[in-house]
Amino acid sequence: MNSPLLTAEGIGRNFGALIAVDAVSFTVVQGQIHAIIGPNGAGKTTLFNIISGLVPASQGMLRFQDREITGLPPFRRATIGISRTFQNIRIFPDMSVLENVLTGMSPILRQPVWSLLLRLPAARREEAAAKQEGLRLLEKVGLHAQANARAADLSYGDQRRLEIARALAARPKLLLLDEPAAGMNPTETVGLLSLLQELRKDGLTLLLVEHDMGFVMGLSDRITVLNFGRVIADGAPGAIRRDPQVIEAYLGAKVAARLAAEAAKAGAPP
């Protein structure tokens, strides 16, 4: 069946006395869209930083395609197929849109420096192919017309798309998306939703952190819920929606109890 792509086993991270992530374990299955949700401060972004290698884990182990990657430096993770976007959109502001995407392509551009320096035919071919591929990616996210615009001049929604295009440039196997819908209006969100579904159809595995419940519920195959750095639930969207612990985490104990009581009175699952 579908094999596990990324496995987190007992990942923990503390900053001094502050425990940001506590014994988190979950599995991302290949070809699925897996979401990590939880209230603010639950440790989601820290977890993402650990998976992409920008922050080292204090405990635990990370596996990617059966290979342990816990101590692997961030740039190597990109080479083995893990790509990511950032919560606060970190495109390269002064470069053009196309250049941003081409930068993302670094792991698969293999011509050595001396070949580049001498402008050998192989190097020139690779650069031309790269530009074509870059334009194709921009077309996929709908930014083809702005290929030569300055990245910082783009609208917020377009910058998000650019970041996704850049993350796709190296043909990753796993794409980490940190709050991709943040700051987007409903129209942009719908566009993003269809883009992500298209990516899943292309065979990409997605792991996203998100706040927007509607977005997550409609999109994901599997959801892991974090609270105070710990996993409190893990399963299909339907089950998560009804999970009392999740409801309590988001809405508080009183509301959770009230909802549970109402459900019991109605006598049937909501």
Partner 1 sequence: MWEMLDDLFYAYQDLFYGLGVNAILALSMYAVVSLGQLSLGQAAFMGIGAYVGAVVTVKLGLPFGLSLTAAMIAPAIVAALVGIPTLRLTGVYLAIATIGLGEVLRILYLNSDYLGGALGFSGIPEKANGWIIYGLLALILSGFLIITRSRVGRACEAIRQDEDAARVMGINVTLYKMTGLILSAALAGLGGALNAHFSSFISPGEFGFETAVAILSYAVLGGVATPLGPVIGAFLLTALPELLRSLHEFRGIFNGLIIVLVMIFLPKGLLGWRVRRTG
By the criterion CB under 8 A, which residues form the site for partner 1?
Answer: 52-54, 73-79, 83-84, 86, 90-96, 98-99, 102-107, 109, 111, 113, 116-117, 119, 123-124, 127, 130-131, 166, 170
Q: Which is nearer to partner 1, 62 or 240 (CB)?
A: 62
Q: Which is nearer to partner 1, 94 or 139 (CB)?
A: 94
Sheet order of strands, 174-178 included: 82-84, 174-178, 205-209, 33-37, 222-227, 230-235
Shortest Å, Cβ 23 to partner 1: 25
Shortest Å, Cβ 215 to partner 1: 23
Shortest Å, Cβ 54 to partner 1: 6
Residue 98 tokens, joined: 């196309």
| Cβ proximity of 95 and 158 under 8 Å | no
Q: Which is nearer to partner 1, 36 or 176 (CB)?
A: 176
Q: Which is nearer to partner 1, 53 or 229 (CB)?
A: 53
How far is the CA of 9 from the CAs of 29, 69, 224, in angstroms?
A: 14, 12, 14
Q: Which of 223, 203, 205 is nearest to 213 (CA)?
A: 223
Report how far residue 61's alpha carbon sits from residue 9's, in angstroms, rounded to the nearest whole number: 5
Q: Which is nearer to partner 1, 75 or 156 (CB)?
A: 75
Shortest Å, Cβ 187 to partner 1: 27
| Cβ proximity of 209 and 45 under 8 Å | yes
Q: Which is nearer to partner 1, 124 or 258 (CB)?
A: 124
Shortest Å, Cβ 203 to partner 1: 20
Shortest Å, Cβ 243 to partner 1: 33
In sequence order, which residues have a C-beta less than 8 Å from that of residue 164 and are 6 or more positions away?
85, 141, 175, 177, 180, 195
To which residue do tokens 């969207």 refer? 237
